[in-house]
Amino acid sequence: MSESPACPALFISAPASGQGKTTITAALARLHQRHGRKVRIFKTGPDYLDPLVLQHASGATAEPLDLWMTGETGCREALALAAQQADVILIEGAMGLYDGTPSSADLAIRFGIDVVAVFNARGMAQSIAALAYGLASYNPHLHLSGIVANQIGSARHHSLIEAALPDHLPLLASIVRDPAKALPSRHLGLIPPDQHHDLDIIIERVADELEETPLAQLPRRVSFPMPESHTALPQHLAGVTLGIARDEAFSFIYPANLRVLEGMGAQLRFFSPLHDEQLPSIDALWLPGGYPELYAAKLARNAAMLAALNHCHQAGMPILAECGGLLYVLEELTDIEGQRHIMAGLMRGTAAMRERSGCQGMQSAPLPEGLLRGHAHHRSVASNTPEPIAHGIRPSHPAPGEAIFRQGRLTASYIHLFFPSNPEATAALFAPREVPAP
């Protein structure tokens, strides 16, 4: 290790999903920002929507931090760089503190970061103390510095919780129950900030409640050693202009993916399948995930864009279609209301949204170009598709993962790829040359 920058850091977790982690983390980021502190913020695990809220609250890009997907070295580098730039680092966990392999607890322990647990207190009081004690005691290497009681009903409710907690697990803050402070969501997650006009009001109200609590103070400083220098990214995409769909329908894009593409020499050109009728002058194409099902009628009406996509595919242009991008390149998409819409038809098959159920979790994609890590998270099902060339590999389950399709230079799957996990394979995927058949 070459240097050890240090920075105050705090990990915000919970016993389960739905406790209010994102609300508390966003409000805490806004509170530190009010105090003139530069905040760097991270979200554990694969997520596109919570980071948008955290980014909006903090004014800084919210990056993924995960021991499996981004790797320990990637996590170390991201935290060390953040420590050099920020006055405080905040990390929001995923699901419950000990859920997943690796879990949020594993990440907090690995880097020695204190944890605050958020509890939805609705319907319980003293039982929170038992749950908090269990979280703190389950792994002796984890340091749980206190709890936040969310959704409390009264001052008496606050007092009952506070009195039941042991001295080493203080009640750091409590947030009064108010439906107007709830972050709205839909299938797949939270409503993005650009579609939620009251978001700042919610964040400011919760930040006000945190203002006179211990959480308003800087947390304990943590040392984040910088890993040894990495080999420079190969310039395999030098001279390649890559078109990337980005609008209301296609927005699931990790900033780290863009950095890798640019770091390998690619020129990035963004376009909107919803609003543009022509593609920019490009050599390769990326159709990331998002919500095409919410805009299916408008996508179907944009015949000029559908024709442009078909022209690129027929000309042998490299195309990556991920999740929502997969839905877009199929022949037809049935939305949540049961309405059928014609899509691009670059690949045989149809897709339909489901009211419930779905798929989520980490997966590796064994592409002909190499193995890339990523994840899947969707509420649709594709049918009548071609035979896949491979299936995703789940890190902790033997069942096959998502199907991976290859039609000419088109690669399509429900898997969202994390490009930094294998830059060489990423470059080969987008390079404007023929790829040998698997």
Residues 2-30: tens digit of each pLDDT: 458 999 999 999 999 889 999 999 999 99
How many structural domains comprise the chain? 2
Indicate whether 371 and 258 sit together in one domain: yes
Indicate whether 159 and 308 sit together in one domain: no
Measured CA distances, 253 to 10, 64, 357 (Å): 26, 11, 24
Tokens of residue 327, six digits:
């839905």
Model pLDDT, residue 356: 62
Contact 41, 54 (CB under 8 A): yes
Indicate whether 338 and 373 sit together in one domain: yes
Q: How many CB atoms lie within 10 A of CB 162?
A: 16
Taking Cα atoms as reference points, which of 367, 46, 81, 118 lies closest to residue 226?
81
pLDDT-based confidence at residue 435 (cuts at 50, 70, 90): very low
Model pLDDT, residue 178: 85
- Domain residues for the domain of 295 are 241-430
Catalytic residue annotation = 323
Residues 68-99: tens digit of each pLDDT: 999 999 999 999 999 999 999 999 999 999 99
DSSP state of 383: E
| Res. 211: pLDDT tops 60 | yes
Radius of gyration over every alpha carbon of the chain, rounded to an integer in angstroms: 23
Within-domain flag for 230 = no
Residues 253-308: tens digit of each pLDDT: 999 999 999 999 999 999 999 999 999 999 999 999 999 999 999 999 999 999 99
Model pLDDT, residue 52: 82
Within-domain flag for 438 = no
CATH of the domain at 117: 3.40.50.300
Residue 111 sits at the vertex; the CA angle it makes with 108 and 114, to the nearest 5 degrees, is 50
Indicate whether 262 and 121 sit together in one domain: no
Indicate whether 160 and 214 sit together in one domain: yes
Taking Cα atoms as reference points, which of 171, 176, 168 lies closest to residue 128?
171
Within-domain flag for 205 = yes
Within-domain flag for 231 = no
DSSP state of 393: B
Model pLDDT, residue 431: 94
CATH of the domain at 362: 3.40.50.880
